[in-house]
Amino acid sequence: MNDTRIAIVTGAARGIGAGVAERLAADGYAVAVLDLDEAACKKVVARIEAAGGRALAVGADVSDEAAVAAAVDRVAAELGAPSVLVNNAGIIRDNMLFKMSVDDWDSVLAVHLRGAFLMTRAAQAHMTKAGWGRIINLSSTSALGNRGQVNYSAAKAGMQGFTKTLALELGKFGVTANAIAPGFIETEMTQATAERIGVPFEQFKEGIAKETPVGRIGMPADIAHAVSFFASEGAGYVSGQVLYVAGGPKA
């Protein structure tokens, strides 16, 4: 093994996760591109390799304890011990409270919170042993409340409390934990939201851009840039923070 640091990015087959994986690879990390469907990760791996980076496609359900343990073991064996973990995997099951099923609630919390817990518990063992690590959790402006997203909002608010406690517990081992709370980012997930409410995506984006102080919507690269900072050597004195990347003041 060389001195290359290893990063794991969950939910990395598309959208924000793919953008983060490619940015970390450009920063010099070897990247485990993890998602539910391993085959879907391979196009991201191919882009990273074409740009001269090193990556591994890993299929795993982050809410499954055994699958997570096997995935992290595989990363450690094939790439090296992980020192950066980006908990990005997420799903939406939007509905108003009175129409929301228990399954809609449970599935969203399982992927976001249980998934982040399982991935972090597995990865931190390598980080604490090495005396260096970076955990970066994806929250959302929905943590502040968002109509029709009681499950997602609860999960994303939970990610912030989870992050702050990780910072308290892991700091003495050289491991930082921070959260990024994106505003509206152009992804397949936000396109699905527009479809659900029956608004053309371009019109949906224009409306949000008008309401955003910087006058545009966010892109995966905006989030990837924030991840790059938190993962860096120079961010070692920043921990337990929530950074809203939303084109204006939030929180």
Please report, in tens digits, the pLDDT of each residue of the chain (251 residues total). Answer: 357 899 999 999 999 999 999 999 999 999 999 999 999 999 999 999 999 999 999 999 999 999 999 999 999 999 999 999 999 999 999 999 999 999 999 999 999 999 999 999 999 999 999 999 999 999 999 999 999 999 999 999 999 999 999 999 999 999 999 999 999 999 998 998 888 889 999 999 999 999 999 999 999 999 999 999 999 999 999 999 999 999 999 86
Residues 6+ apart with CB under 8 A from 181: 138, 139, 140, 141, 143, 156, 160, 242, 243, 244, 245, 246, 250, 251
**Residue 233 domain flag:** yes
Which pLDDT does position 3 carry in this prediction?
Answer: 74
Q: Is 244 among the catalytic positions?
A: no
Total domain count, the chain? 1
**Residue 171 domain flag:** yes
Name the residue range of residue 131's domain. 6-183+218-244
**Residue 207 domain flag:** no
**Residue 199 domain flag:** no
**Residue 205 domain flag:** no
**Residue 204 domain flag:** no
CA distance 119 to 34: 11
CA distance 60 to 71: 7
**Residue 213 domain flag:** no
Which pLDDT does position 231 carry in this prediction?
Answer: 98
Which pLDDT does position 250 carry in this prediction?
Answer: 84
The torsion angle over the Cα atoms of residues 64, 23, 176 and 41, rounded to 10 degrees, is 10
**Residue 195 domain flag:** no
**For position 151, which CATH number holds?**
3.40.50.720
Catalytic residue among 29, 152, 237, 244: 152
Place of tokens 């990273």: 48
